Structure 1
Amino acid sequence: MSQAVLAYARPAIADDIARRHPELRLILAHMGHPYEGECIAVIRKHPHVYADISTLHYRPFQLWHTLMLVQEYGVWHKLLFGSDFPFTTVDDTIAGLHRIAGVQAPGFASLAAEEIDALIHRDALTLLGLSSS
């Protein structure tokens, strides 16, 4: 893993692909970690680029901060649930999301619990245009 080129993880690479292929559905794994803010800018910009939240519950503050950015930019609808199985479980990921739902920093709104529930229950196949329903 230490030999992997971190620059290739940049969500901005997906921006170039999405501009050249606007109908292509792209999913940026792990909210583009460690470039979560850049990931949010890319999914906001392109109608068919999404991100998943897998593995982020291991770092609760980072997950909270990332979802606060998601909330501020109004892109909850662009998120997909992911657990990173087999390294963690669906139940652990859901519990991690629920733990941060009520957290509020002074002067800031808390995360919208209904948006977290919508993320957990979102029909990804329909969202991605892969279902006939």
Structure 2
Amino acid sequence: MIIDCHTHINCPGCTVGPEEHFAESGQVDGCFVLASPDEPNRQSNKFVSEYILRHTDKMFGFAVVDPTIDDISKRYWSAMKSEMGFKGAVLYCTGQGFHPAHSLALQFYEIAEELKMPLFFHNAGPFDADAVLEYARPSLLDEIARNFKDLKIVIGSMGQPFINETLCMLDKHENVYGDLTINPQKIWGVYNTVLAAHEAGVLEKLFFGSGLPFCKPQNCIETLLGFNKLLADTNLPTVPREKIREIVERDSLSILGIAR
């Protein structure tokens, strides 16, 4: 089973619609579809909901939420799950300018934990000038992981540019995982991230992601499985291929408690 844990159909710079997204996802068994704050959150969530409800066996939606301004009631989020088909929530703390441990955010996490809805923290670049980079630090999620031990947390794009903090969080908390979104144009960065995770002993906490529509899943899989070949005539350390394949084939749905 191959699950792509990082895809979009509406986001700044997106050039594909739902039909193209579905066609490009043919090489994987399922996709997390992350709603984006490029439109008002309710509008973005409605757009994603309409898509995932047409493909409930393959598309798993994460609703965008800014807990400081959006409805965070249990009633509302129960409906988001049961009626709109969302499996989790995605937070853009950096882009929307709220601290991940804001008092209202903590109230939302309590609801998400109760409803068994995992959280995806999407705080990676590119950043605009108004983005609050400090809120992207994975270490800010430590308080959340400690206090909500049954809440599944995914750190998007390995928490770039704070990858070392992400590795620490993956090692420290059983309920925290890392989204290894691959960019085939930045293979040296992919290599260093995977090697660092291997040396930290947290490869089993990584989920495969493509960032679709910006990269195609098949290209990302080939990049991840093939980068060791580039090191054949060097003395650089490698990561066992079977360990890399485990990342690609990891059943993130079961790990996060998402029913198909």
Provide TM-score, normalisation by structure 2: 0.47
Instruction: Give the alignment partner of residue 99 of structure 1, picking from 226, 240, 249.
Output: 226
Q: What is the Cα deviation at residue 56 of structure 1?
A: 4.2
Give secondary structure in 1 for the equivalent of 2:181: coil
Unaligned runs of 5+ in 2: 1-127
Match of 1:85 in 2: 212
Instruction: Give the alignment partner of residue 249 of structure 2, picking from 121, 128, 132.
Output: 121
Instruction: Give the alignment partner of residue 201 of structure 2, picking from 58, 61, 74.
Output: 74
Match of 1:35 in 2: 162
Give secondary structure in 2 for the equivalent of 1:81: strand
CA gap of 1:50–1:69, structure 2 versus 1, over 3 A, is: same
Give matches, 1:55-70, under 5 Å: 55-70=182-197
Q: What is the Cα deviation at residue 131 of structure 1?
A: 3.9
Match of 2:116 in 1: none
Percent identical among aligned pairs is: 31
Question: Distance between the aligned counterparts of 1:55 and 1:112, measured in 2?
Answer: 18
Give secondary structure in 1 for the equivalent of 2:178: strand
Instruction: Give the alignment partner of residue 25 of structure 1, picking from 152, 160, 180.
Output: 152
Q: More helix per residue: 1 or 2?
A: 1
Question: Distance between the aligned counterparts of 1:60 and 1:49, measured in 2?
Answer: 25
Give secondary structure in 2 for the equivalent of 1:53: strand
Question: Distance between the aligned counterparts of 1:79 and 1:87, measured in 2?
Answer: 20
Question: Distance between the aligned counterparts of 2:185 and 2:136, measured in 1?
Answer: 19
Answer yes or no: is the 8 Å Cα contact 1:29–1:52 preserved in 2.
yes
Q: Which segments of structure 1 move beyond 4 Å, counting only runs of 4 or more?
A: none
Answer yes or no: is the 8 Å Cα contact 1:57–1:96 preserved in 2.
yes
Question: Distance between the aligned counterparts of 2:131 and 2:255, measured in 1?
Answer: 31
Provide TM-score, normalisation by structure 1: 0.89
Match of 2:237 in 1: 109
Q: More strand per residue: 1 or 2?
A: 2
